[in-house]
Amino acid sequence: MAESNTPDGAWNYCSNSALKRASRQLGKLYEDVLAPSGLKITQYTLLTQIKLGRETPLKILAEAMVMDLSALGHTLKPLQRDGLVELVADEHDRRVKRVRLTEKGNQLWSDTNGLWREAQARFDAAFGKEASENLRRTMDLIASPGFAAAFSGARQNQD
């Protein structure tokens, strides 16, 4: 046992990296619970969001996911390939494509829903149900356009 270089010492003064670390760990925890379904947690989230909207345009879906439009397009690829979602052209605006679940996608979503509930329940149990709600609210705040505006407006140095 030489000199332990071991930083448990994560550099935790950066709010961004703190969020990233937590996000990686939490993602993995949910992922493990969802594993039997074959869906990644991000994919399940995407399917849920698609299911909730009625054939949401990609643009709108990307906004709801707080995700770049092109990133969304790429992320949908495996789901399309596996026949879980499909794109339909908008009737009135030919630039727009709308996404929807296929029969198979709906089925898999239903089959996976219980696993998600299990994961969420575990999180609430470990973190506290009320704290969990507060956390989601806080995260929603940070993810909001208003917060981005406040951040960008908050010049700390002159310009």
Partner DNA sequence: GAAATTTACTGGTATATGCCACTATATTTA
Partner DNA sequence: TAAATATAGTGGCATATACCAGTAAATTTC
- Which residues here bind DNA, judged by CB under 7 A? 20, 24, 27-28, 31, 40, 42-43, 57-59, 62, 66-75, 78, 81, 87, 90, 92-98
**Within 13 A of 116's CA, how many CA atoms are on the CB side?**
17
Binding residues among 39-58 for its own copies as defined by CB under 8 A: 41-42, 45, 48-49, 52-57
CB of 56 to its own copies, least distance (A): 5
Cα–Cα distance between 148 and 94 in angstroms, integer? 31
Residue 86 sits at φ, ψ, to 5 deg, of -145, 155
Beta bridge partners of 88: 98
Q: Which pair of tokens denotes residue 14?
A: 């950066």
Q: Which pair of tokens denotes residue 8?
A: 């448990």
| Binding of its own copies by 69 (CB under 8 A) | no
Binding residues among 82-121 for its own copies as defined by CB under 8 A: 92, 98, 116, 118-121
**The only residue of 35, 82, 125, 159 in contact with its own copies, by rule CB under 8 A:** 125
